[in-house]
Amino acid sequence: MISFKHITFMPLLLTLSLSATEGIPQESPQSWFDAGQAVVARNKSYRYAQADIPIAKNIILFIGDGMGVSTVTAARILEGQLRGEPGEENELFFEEFPNVALSKTYNSDRQVPDSAGTMTAMTTGVKTDMGLIAVNEYVVRGNCDSQSGNHLQTILESAEQHGMATGVVTTARLTHATPASNYAHIMEREFEDDQDGPRFSNPGDCADIARQLIEFSVNNPGSDGLEVALGGGRQSFLPARPNADPETGNPGERLDGRDLTTEWLENHSNADYVWNKQQFEAIDPARTDHLLGLFDPSHMAYSLDIDSDQGGEPSLSEMTAKAIRLLDKNDKGFYLNVEAGRIDHAHHAVNPKRALLDTIELARAVKTAYEMVDLEETLIIVTADHSHVFTIAGYPIRGNPILGKAVNVDSSGESENASALARDGMPYTTLGYQNGEGFHFLPGTNTADSIHRTDVNTAGRSDLTDIDTTHEGFHSETVVPLRQETHAGEDVAIYAVGPGADLVRGVMEQNVIFHIMMEASQLEQR
Ligand SMILES: [Mg+2]
Ligand SMILES: [Zn+2]
């Protein structure tokens, strides 16, 4: 029994019970949902002033994809160092939020999760298997026939049904797992457009993710569709004919010949579609009710590379600001999900500089939102879907460049002024990965493509003595050589401010985040 001031709390026996035969919990979509609600009830009991909690009219859920705690720490240090400070004492904007908790990220079938299962937990309140989007663990991945009866209602769908405005903003493809888990139900995250279809068992003719975004209002009677959808992934919306893409002149990917960008305009009232920064900036949110922006054929640029994008792209902060201006017109409030989707991609490529700069841009986007909304009526949550095998190691001196080689402290407390040497006589970096493409990549060119180079060195450590490890093309050393660096399974942090933020506390299953958003907004009671 835990005693908390006047409140005595008996730990709740959640609906998970142990199976005598297998020794693993008997879980079900319903048990995940019920257990999540029970945690919210428990956390409500910790409140001192039960009556004075205002309702969160608006909800903004920020996701740093792959933004584990070590990523937040390293980004905080880099942000300070970019201002000429030591860095360790710095705080990213959202680290000042009053409520923090830990989120257990495992999928119902995986110790280390992916973005589909984890985001489904946050958007539906139910944990599910890896690769599944807003469908429960009874679905067989890649099998359309198994979807029937197993859809999970998302918070975005509930918000639409209650007349709220809704939006999804991401630097990844809009059809990627995290954004898709808001508006689509699909047995396979990679089914982004119909060209992907033949790879899966699709006899029930499940609609691809891009179609589900454009057809949302058609599939959800009573909803007028999403108000904001901004990100990359244009290829899945354009027909596979020459010159379909205005930026590249390449064909799109749709084999059905449909141009979903024009269908967006047909399916929504007072709608606009933009594909470059200039068009984006010309949009007046007061005069547009439904805005689709597709700024790249695939993922948008990393923050580091944004100025070199051919057609020009808005930043995550700029997209967040425009989204809020548009959504805030609705008197009933809004639900907005903003994803920094490429922290994850840079980590997979063991390229810490891009991962950390995208994390810093996420913090800017959070600050932008924070300063625009009324915190008396807006709940802001910042979290990650999962972590990465990314570490901050050695005993470098305070203020040592976070992207640099470790420099130790001598016996008098001064900098040794030379890289510390490992037992093989070679220097090593502070940042590193437990697995990934190899031991060391040489600095590449100044393009984002350099992070996908394949000149992997599996022979052992390389001598970094003359290598600039702070260069954007530098790829960190890894211990286990895998084709791609993997996610990590430890908990991630949740940061919250606004009405209901006090429910974010302790160590929580990731799906509890959904139940907190539902309780804070009283969405179903409106
Ligand atoms: Mg709507
Ligand atoms: Zn990933």
Ligand 2 centroid vs 487 CA: distance in angstroms?
Answer: 6
Closest C-alpha to 443, from 469, 422, 466: 469
d(Cα 413, Cα 29) in Å, to the nearest integer? 56
Residue given tokens 């679905």 in the structure block: 139
Strand stretches in 151-276, DSSP E: 165-173, 228-232, 271-274
Domains, the chain, ordered by start: 58-391+492-525 (3.40.720.10)
d(Cα 437, Cα 476) in Å, to the nearest integer? 9
Residue given tokens 């909304």 in the structure block: 373
Work out whether strand 492-497 and strand 378-384 pair parallel, antiparallel, or are unpaired.
Answer: antiparallel
Ligand 1 centroid vs 475 CA: distance in angstroms?
Answer: 43
Its sign, for the CA torsion 232, 233, 238, 243, is positive
Whole-number pLDDT of residue 447: 41
Over the stretch 137-149, which tens digit does the pLDDT of each residue have?
999 999 999 999 9
Query: Average of pLDDT values for 382-397?
Result: 98
Whole-number pLDDT of residue 227: 98
Single-letter amino acid, residue 367: K
pLDDT tier, 446 (very low <50, low <70, confident <90, very high otherwise): very low
Residue given tokens 């548009």 in the structure block: 326
Predicted confidence (pLDDT) at residue 449 exceeds the cutoff of 80: no
SS3 514: helix
Whole-number pLDDT of residue 191: 98
The ligand with the least distance to the CA atom of 166 is: 1
Q: Could you tell me which residue, 23 or 384, shows the higher pLDDT?
A: 384
Which residues have beta carbons under 5 A from ligand 1 (an ion)? Answer: 224, 227
Whole-number pLDDT of residue 23: 62
User: Per the residue annotation, which of 70, 103, 108, 115 is the catalytic one?
Assistant: 115
Strand stretches in 327-438, DSSP E: 334-340, 378-384, 387-388, 390-392, 407-409, 415-419, 431-436
Closest C-alpha to 238, from 255, 219, 218: 255
d(Cα 415, Cα 460) in Å, to the nearest integer? 29
DSSP string covering 86-119: -STT---GGGG-SEEEEEE--BTTBSS--HHHHH
Q: How many residues does the chain have?
A: 526
Query: Average of pLDDT values for 367-388?
Result: 98
Ligand 2 centroid vs 71 CA: distance in angstroms?
Answer: 14
Ligand 1 centroid vs 165 CA: distance in angstroms?
Answer: 4
List Cβ neighbours of 21 (8 Å cut-off, separation of 6 or more). none
Over the stretch 203-237, which tens digit does the pLDDT of each residue have?
889 999 999 999 999 999 999 999 999 999 999 99
Q: Can you give the pTM of this predicted structure?
A: 0.93
- Residues 328 and 334: beta-carbon distance below 8 Å: yes
Predicted confidence (pLDDT) at residue 466 exceeds the cutoff of 90: no
Ligand 2 centroid vs 388 CA: distance in angstroms?
Answer: 8
Question: Which of 17-26, 224-233, 316-325, 406-415 is least confident?
Answer: 17-26
45 tagged catalytic: no
Whole-number pLDDT of residue 475: 87
For all residues of the chain together, what is the average pLDDT? Answer: 92
- Residues 132 and 110: beta-carbon distance below 8 Å: no
- Residues 219 and 183: beta-carbon distance below 8 Å: no
Instruction: Indicate the DSSP class of residue 446.
Output: S
List Cβ neighbours of 413 (8 Å cut-off, separation of 6 or more). none
Ligand 2 centroid vs 419 CA: distance in angstroms?
Answer: 32
Alpha-helix runs per DSSP H in 233-342 = 260-267, 277-282, 316-327
pLDDT > 90 fraction of the chain, expressed in percent and rounded: 82
The ligand with the least distance to the CA atom of 156 is: 1
Whole-number pLDDT of residue 457: 66
The ligand with the least distance to the CA atom of 387 is: 2
d(Cα 131, Cα 115) in Å, to the nearest integer? 8
